[in-house]
Structures are given as structure tokens and as C-alpha cells.
Amino acid sequence: MDSQSKYPYELPPLPYDLKSLEPYISANTMSFHYGKHHLAYVNKANELIKGTLYEEQSMLQVMRNSINKDPVIFNNVAQIWNHDFFWKSMKPGDGAPDNRMNEKIITTFGSLEKFNQEFSEAAISQFGSGWIWLVVEGTKMKIMKTSNADNPLVHGIKPLLALDVWEHAYYMDYQNKRVEFVKVFLDHLINWDFANANL
């Protein structure tokens, strides 16, 4: 969802159908994650924002203005944005970064394999719920971890890709094996075209 979107929020459409990420993410997981969790954030955010000053603010403004003042509003609005960004960070079919992105990855991390290793380590070591991001801060690309609903935008950092490591993102398919879920994301699901467009 565009960070300039305003209340009332709607559930953004998926960029593919519920079965498109199989066998790596099942339609069953997608139906719950997108159709219930993501939708619940939309509904709760609209309920909380109705009649407040946040009605006239962009989504980014709401996130920045509520993060320390109204954490319940922040959590729900940020999770709408985070999830929409996560869906776009994946696509059906294996892919590889194009020349521009590949050069940036090599310059920053040494190789795509080293990027995968660092990203995986960040995702596996994230305690509890949260998100793992490939971001650009200034001119420097890096991997960033955030807890719960936090995201790079509120810290003035530009996200390129996101991985959801809340348990509901993978438990139906992988149980408690976050390691396997992260490997599948890196090996089969990353939408490098989306990352490149954000870069």
C-alpha cells in the first residue's frame, strides 16, 4: 500500500493469487495470513482512526506521528503497510538480481551467497516477532531487523525488500522451522525486480 494512502484503508490486492507461491507457501497459509491477519489490521486501523486527527494524514504521517504517542494505532497501520510490502517482495518462480542489483549486492556484501548468509542469520536471530529488511540508508545498502510492527520508513530509511518472521507467516507450512522458511524465501521467492525498482 502506498505510504501516501489515507483513511479509510482497504485491503490491498495481492499481486498474485493465493496458490501462486506454492509449493513454498501454501494457499492455506496465504488465505489466513492475507485474508485474516492482514485484513484484521485494516479493520482495526480504520476503527481506531475514525474521528481522530489521523483521518487527514497519509499513512506515512500516521506511522511517524503515532509510533511513540499511539502505539496501538501505529502497530495496526504499520502492519497494513508492512504486509503489502512483503507480498510485493515475493513472486512466483525462481529469480536472480539483474546486473545493477547484483553489482550493488556484490559491492556491499561480497557476493549473493554472502548476502543470503547475512540475511538468513538476521532472520534466524530475530527474537520473537518482527521483520527483516534489505534497505538503503543514504547511499549504503544493508540488512535491517525490526521488532513487531516497526519498519524502516519511520526511521528515514528506504526499504527494498521485506521478510515477515512473525510465526503466522510460516507456522502452517514449516511449524517452528524458521530456518527452512528463510531459505525458501531466499532461494525461490525473492522478487528482485521489486527490489530493483525500489532502489
Are the CB atoms for 8 and 80 separated by under 8 Å? Answer: no
Nearest to 182 by CA among 199, 198, 161: 161
Structural domains of the chain sorted by starting position, each given as residue range(s) with its CATH number in brackets: 27-88 (1.10.287.990), 99-198 (3.55.40.20)
Instruction: Give the number of C-alpha atoms closer than 13 A to the C-alpha of residue 154, restricted to the C-beta side.
Output: 21
As a 3-state breakdown, the chain gives helix, strand, coil percent values, each rounded to 5, of 55, 15, 30
> What DSSP string runs through 66-79?
HTTT-HHHHHHHHH
| Percent above pLDDT 90 for the chain | 93
pLDDT band at 95 (very low <50, low <70, confident <90, very high): confident
Average pLDDT of 119-123?
98
Question: What's this model's pTM, rounded to 2 decimal places?
Answer: 0.96
In the β-sheet with 130-137, what is the strand arrangement from edge to edge?
140-147, 130-137, 158-164
